[in-house]
Amino acid sequence: MEAAYENIEQYVFLITRYTALAIEIIGALVLVFSVGRALFCLCRRDIGVRLKLAQGIALALEFKIGGELLRTVYVRDWKELLILGAVILIRAAMTFLIHWEIRIHKKDAFTELREKRCLKRKKDKSEGSED
């Protein structure tokens, strides 16, 4: 019975280890893709490049956090757990700050768009009253 338990434990260990690695690789690929897309948009002088890059970084960090959380399954030592916890906290704080910046950027873009529409309406009304 104990041998079966050890076999199951080894399989769970391997599955979680490789799954965590795969999730972190996906996070790295998302980051590389986001930077590449941002560079392409920057060359085209796209005004939304900063927002797109921030969203890509936030998504990549979320994948990296997911991989780190899976690693807690096979941590054997308190020192490793503390280091892992610190890494997760730092990445979570970075994700929070990036999401906060995205929210502010979207709010500013919405306010700017609303102001432009308001100015256009005033201009259209003034042109309409002159006729």
Is it the case that residue 38 has pLDDT exceeding 70?
Answer: yes
Both tokens of residue 56? Answer: 């890509």
Contacts of 8 (CB under 8 A, 6+ apart): none
- Tally of helices (H runs) and strands (E runs) in the chain: 3, 0
Residue-level pLDDT at 129: 60
Residue 80 has pLDDT above 90, yes or no: no
- What is the band of 68 on the pLDDT scale with cuts at 50, 70, 90? confident
> What are the C-alpha distances in Å from 15 to residues 19, 44, 82?
6, 43, 23
What is the average pLDDT across 83-98?
85
The share of the chain scoring above pLDDT 90, in percent, equals 18
Least confident of 48-52, 57-61, 71-75: 71-75
Residue type, 31: L
Mean pLDDT of 99-120: 76
Domain positions in the chain: 2-130
Residue of 51, 60, 56 whose CA lies nearest to 36: 56
Instruction: Copy the structure tokens of residue 71.
Output: 């690693």
The stretch 111-122 carries a mean pLDDT of 72
Q: Answer whether residue 73 shows pLDDT above 80.
A: no
pTM: 0.69
Residue 23 in this model has a pLDDT that exceeds 60: yes
Res 128: pLDDT: 65
Q: What is the mean pLDDT of residues 19-44?
A: 92
